Structure 1
Amino acid sequence: MPSLTRKMTRTGKAFRAAAVFSAAAGLTLALSGCTRLDTTAPSTVRAHPASDVQAAGYGAVDCRTAKCIALTFDAGPSENSARLLDILKEKKVPATFFLLGARHIEKYPELVKRMAAEGHEVASHTWDHKILTKIEPDEIRDELKRPNDAIEKLTGHRPTLMRPPQGRTNDTVNAISKEMGLAEVLWSVTAKDYTTNDSALIEKRVLEQASRDGIILLHDIYPGTVPAVPGIIDALKERGYVFVTVPQLLAPGKAEPGQVYRP
């Protein structure tokens, strides 16, 4: 999510107060020092698949021909996640969840299990939302390893995707992600739902930015976000979009450890 700090996971209000300071940080990859990493678009991955991989989940979708878009949610699970899962199940829409460990995976283990059981992609948003570009390599490894261990214990599947807090990454984060078998996933659409509880505004922002192969960033921890999801789904379906997980968006290619993906 674009701008949390370690202490902000306690309340949505605290998240929102500090989020404004770096709302655009994650989309720019204007990284620390002079480092600038290349990103890879989903269409590039699909054009050069390593093997024939069919999309899974709610059914095979070929995003080489379908007008695909991915819903992603950061920083859960939360008290709002059960309702979100109900909506996704009703609408038959898969999503990708980038989960936090401290006070989230720890607090809502049954929701993590449910996400995986219902066909969603369960991935990492680090353990405690430390900004990875500001900490030492061993701390980066700990931030990435702990949620992966917890998710694997709950779901039987070790995450292969992670989203760095605030979208901030650099050569060191990239190298450690590769070492740990993780690809980094950024986004192309943000509703900045950490700045408002207005569900209609959240929906409007998403619909204005949506495009083919888009990766939508939302946060189910905020009270205005989940109520906006049905309208987002219905409107995008009317426009001909097919909802997929991030791995489905890349198929028949697949995410490679150490790569950074963004439309």
Structure 2
Amino acid sequence: MPWNISASGSRTAAALAAVASLTLALSGCSSYEATSPRDARSHPAEGARAEAAPVDCEQARCIALTFDAGPGKDTARLLDTLKREKVPATFFLLGKNHVVKHPDLVRRMAREGHEIANHTWTHKRLTDLDADGVREELSRTQDAIAEITGREPTLMRPPQGRTDDTVAAVSRELGLAQILWSATAKDYSTTDSALIERRILDQAGRDGIILLHDIYDGTVPAVPGIIRKLKKRGYTFVTVPQLLAPGRAEPGTVYKP
């Protein structure tokens, strides 16, 4: 009887481990060490040139607004809102069917002071690729953005937040820091702008990085309310490099609030 109990317990433990492993895989989590914005500010790399920040985020309640997977049909309207509200944002752009399709929008982002970053060429999960595959996904977008703006990005966001040692090594090689997030509306799953706004407001916090997508119908209409209400709470909007200043995003490193 004791053997039966032990065997049952072992089977239960194995089943729970399998469920945990599956849950981890489905959630998009990967094994990595992350640096917070505060840590980046507190320990700038020796000799590194820091981003010139318009505000001291050690004193102000800073938050970074970021958009993935564009440009798209609503991006011009989003840029109008950001210009009117005097809010800088960070855009993690997709190469194929986005950067190459909307070069004028990419140029406008750069001209209006937004940070332009890399979100791969085709949105493949980088952890499913070997080093050459990761390099192709990132370098093609680097080249496309540089051809349009004259400057290669220094930041990237791995699709679904999935990263590993191979992704880090290739990112380091290409001069790209990895930027994750602290607040997401899961706007890919809803067109309800009020719900998108509420989800972001519920998750917003100091030194936060907000993840939205300017390619989904409900997102851009939610942005004015998000900006207005976060300003009312005393937040100052900055780009991701400004959030890390006087630190500097180090290639290969994962940054997450």
Is TM (by shorter chain) over 0.5?
A: yes
TM-score range, shorter chain: 0.7 to 0.9
Query: Matches of 2:25 and 2:105 in 1, distance apart?
Result: 28
Q: Which of the numbers 31, 55, 60 marks the counterpart of 2:52?
A: 55
Q: Does 1:218 align with 2:220?
A: no
CA contact (8 A) 1:159 1:182 kept: yes
2:98 paired with 1:98: no
TM-score (norm 1): 0.86
Provide Cα deviations, 1:156-207, integer angstroms capped at 9, x if missing partner. 1110100000100011111111111110000000000001000000000000
Q: Deviations over 1:46-76 (max 9, x none)?
A: 01123563535xxx11111110000000000
Q: 120, 130, 147: which is aligned to 2:141?
A: 147
C-alpha contact (below 8 Å) 1:124/1:148 kept by paired residues: yes
Which one of the candidate residues 236, 239, 243 is aligned to 1:242?
A: 236
Larger Rg: 2
Cα distance in 2, alignment partners of residues 99 and 52 from structure 1: 24
Paired with 1:127 and 1:91, the residues of 2 have a C-alpha distance of 30
The correspondence for 1:156, drawn from 150, 155, 164, is: 150
In structure 1, the partner of 2:41 is: 46
Do the aligned residues in 2 keep the contact of 1:126 with 1:147 (CA within 8 Å)? yes
Where structure 2 has 5 or more consecutive residues not aligned to the other structure, the ranges are: 1-22
- The TM-score with structure 2 as length reference comes to 0.88
SS at match of 1:75: strand
Cα contact 2:51–2:248 (8 A) shared by 1:
no
- Tell me, in whole angstroms, the C-alpha distance in 2 between the residues paired with 1:183 and 1:53: 14
Change (3 A) 1:89 1:185: same
Query: Structure 1 CA distance, aligned partners of 2:26 and 2:228?
Result: 27
Whether 2:110 is the aligned partner of 1:116: answer yes
Q: 2:27 maps to which residue?
A: 25
Count of equivalent residues: 233
Q: Is the 8 A contact 1:68 1:212 kept in 2?
A: yes
The match for 1:200 is 194
Q: 1:258 to 1:134 in 2, by over 3 A?
A: same
Taking a change above 3 Å as real, the CA distance of residues 78 and 22 of structure 1, as seen in their structure-2 partners, is farther
Q: Are the equivalent residues in 1 in contact too, given 2:90–2:116 (CA < 8 A)?
A: yes
8 Å contact from structure 1 (residues 25, 168) kept in 2: no
CA deviations over 1:100-156 (Å, ceiling 9, x no partner):
001000110100000011000000000000110101211110000001101111111
Other-structure match for 2:20: none
Q: Give 1 or 2: higher helix fraction.
A: 2
Q: Which residue, 178, 187, 192 being the options, matches 1:184?
A: 178
The offset of 1:25, in angstroms, is 3.0
Secondary structure at 2:50 match in 1: coil
Q: Are 1:126 and 2:120 counterparts?
A: yes
Q: How far has the Cα of 1:250 moved from its partner? A: 0.1
Structure 1 CA distance, aligned partners of 2:192 and 2:94? Answer: 24
One-letter amino acid of the structure 2 residue matched with residue 180 of structure 1: L
Aligned mates of 1:210, 1:24 — CA distance in 2 = 24
Q: 1:22 to 1:220 in 2, by over 3 A?
A: farther
5 Å-filtered alignment, 1:169-180, equals: 169-180=163-174
Cα distance in 2 for residues equivalent to 1:192 and 1:169: 19
Aligned mates of 1:24, 1:95 — CA distance in 2:
29
What secondary structure, in the 3-state scheme, does the structure 2 residue paired with 1:142 have?
Answer: helix
Bigger shift: 148-157 or 70-79? 148-157
Structure 2: how far apart are the matches of 1:71 and 1:261? 15
Which blocks of at least 5 consecutive residues in structure 1 are unaligned? 1-20
* Amino acid corresponding to residue 42 of structure 1 in structure 2: P
Equivalent pair of 1:69/1:243 in contact (CA under 8 Å): yes
Q: Which runs of 4+ in 1 moved over 4 A?
A: 21-24
